[in-house]
A and B are shown apart, each in its own frame.
Chain A
């Protein structure tokens, strides 16, 4: 409620005096068949996107006897949170029945350091490429951009051999290194484009004042990089949390992230399939990126688009 808003409202309050002369209130909307068609299309499309998740939520709150009745769309008659507790604590993968929680902590242990390290590396890369291009730096950058398009399958096996030769295959540092490697192309591109749009005078003035590579980076560039860092964090947290392939190959059994545990719980169960527990587990796995998505709003889209700008 700022002063500006109040003055903006003022004319409307005065309007009844001259109601006969000037129209007031919002312009009445024309409800034409065309506009109805637009909304019908959008609502049907929205249903296509929403129904699967509606089914998941509803089913995860039902008991198994109720699920067997086959009323897929009906609300739970006796809502129960037992499947959610089971998914978190007791769901089985093979012989271990510890639920998803170990996977959650593993994902946390993988994601946090990977995000921090990859962003530090990429911001230095972008800064060096923009302001301190040494001979061959642009060739390196070209190779990196090429790496953004390479199918992962081409580099996975050499990485397995390389990491195991230094004893890091199937370890926590190993998977962190892998995420840093595969995050680097997009993030470097992101930071380079951001720094290239900054005025060069900023850099030159600092150079004249005698600041060096690291001094300029820490005192000038880093404080200015907040917006692009937010985009990078969103991109990396969702990307790494959602990763499955690297997790299953490089993390090792004791560090398997949540996505791998989820797939094991759901797709390798023998005997009775507990759909309610499985769906609760799925929602739990999706929760972290979904929260980030809904909190960050348009930044999320900006991150996706920024990653592909120079494609």
Chain B
């Protein structure tokens, strides 16, 4: 009896993983639980426990700043992920043509990813600064009507963020997809060539579907990055002009620190968690069903 207990809970293993137990349960279960709990209270600067039901959520969805943030994250997410995927895939395909200096090109495409998003944001803030960057340079060269200042216009500032996001992230997509391309069997290319299929067609219809894993990896990496985009916005626009480039990640931090409205901030944080839960739950279900079917077949 005692033996089986010791087998199931080998004491050193439990002791060695105490940090993991604390983090998994303490932070990712209890911590998130408290966040959700406080979203139903009227907490201001410090957490309180007088429950107000869904009032915080109602106020949240009536706040124009939050609505702008939600719109922005969808727009930014769709734009930057699709651009990153397309651009990264193109780069990978071109890199795969037995070119010279491949390592040099790879280093150039990938180095922005090694830098902080704060650095990326500041760099592009200057490049797009009307008095210092591209616009000023072009006017100096004699093109006096040249106008290119996306950051000072509330309608275009988000495009500038997308460009910076592509600059920072497409190299990683390229690297992952290139590894996927290299994993495709050479014979497939030969067979397609023998059959007289044009190269672009082989890419789209045969090779791309074979790289599902690489695409999924790149996609997941980008999604996680988009949900967490905070540093880039802070460094590049500060959420402005006005509230034009506010994002949920920025909104939550502002409510907690500057506006001292924890209840509503936690409601916003819970709304950020919701899509993640849905996607994770869905993919977990798919995995579980696939495992069960495979188990049944064996």
Contacts and interface: CB of A to CB of B under 8 A. Distances in A.
Interface in B249-270: 249, 252-253, 256-257, 262, 265-266, 268-270
B14 A282 contact: no
Contacts of B137: 70-73
Interface residues of B, number: 92
A255 interface: no
Nearest to B9: A134
Interface in B240-288: 248-249, 252-253, 256-257, 262, 265-266, 268-270, 272-273, 276, 280
A4 B169 CA distance: 42
Contacts of A259: 116, 118-119, 231
Given A48-B167, A134-B8, A242-B117, A151 B273 contact: yes
Interface string B10-43: 1011101101110111111111101100100000
A45 B109 contact: yes
Interface string A134-174: 11010011011011111111111111111000000000000
Contacts of A249: 253, 257
Nearest to B100: A39
Interface in A36-60: 38-39, 41-42, 45-46, 48-53, 55-56, 59
A52 B109 contact: no
Contacts of A112: none
Interface residues of A, number: 92
A155 B256 contact: no
A308 B9 contact: no
Interface stretch (A7-15, A80-88, A297-305): A297-305
A52 B115 contact: no
Contacts of B132: 67, 70, 72, 275
A293 B106 CA distance: 12
Interface stretch (A92-100, A197-205, A222-230, A260-268): A260-268
A72 to B, nearest CB: 4
Contacts of A48: 167
A213 B13 contact: yes
Q: Is the interface of A mostly helix, strand, loop or mixed?
A: helix
A147 B220 CA distance: 14
Contact of A151 (B8, B16, B216, B228): B228
Contacts of B221: 304, 307-308, 311
Nearest to B164: A52
B31 A52 contact: no
Interface in B110-145: 110-119, 122-124, 126-127, 132-134, 136-137, 139-140
A132 B16 CA distance: 11
A140 B256 contact: no
Contacts of A153: 248-249, 252-253, 268-269, 272
Nearest to B102: A42
B29 A214 contact: no
Given A134-B8, A158-B34, A244 B118 contact: yes
Contacts of A55: 126-127, 133
A128 B32 contact: no
A111 interface: no
B123 A245 contact: no
A48 B91 CA distance: 13
Interface in A258-311: 259, 262-263, 266-267, 275, 278-279, 282, 285-286, 289-290, 292-294, 300-301, 304-305, 307-309, 311
A49 B127 contact: no
A267 B17 contact: no
24 contacts: A41-B94, A42-B94, A59-B126, A70-B132, A70-B140, A125-B16, A128-B17, A134-B14, A141-B20, A147-B24, A151-B276, A152-B228, A154-B31, A155-B27, A157-B38, A157-B256, A158-B31, A162-B26, A212-B12, A242-B116, A245-B253, A289-B115, A294-B107, A311-B221
**7 nearest A-B residue pairs (beta carbon):** A213-B12, A311-B220, A242-B116, A72-B137, A132-B13, A293-B114, A158-B31
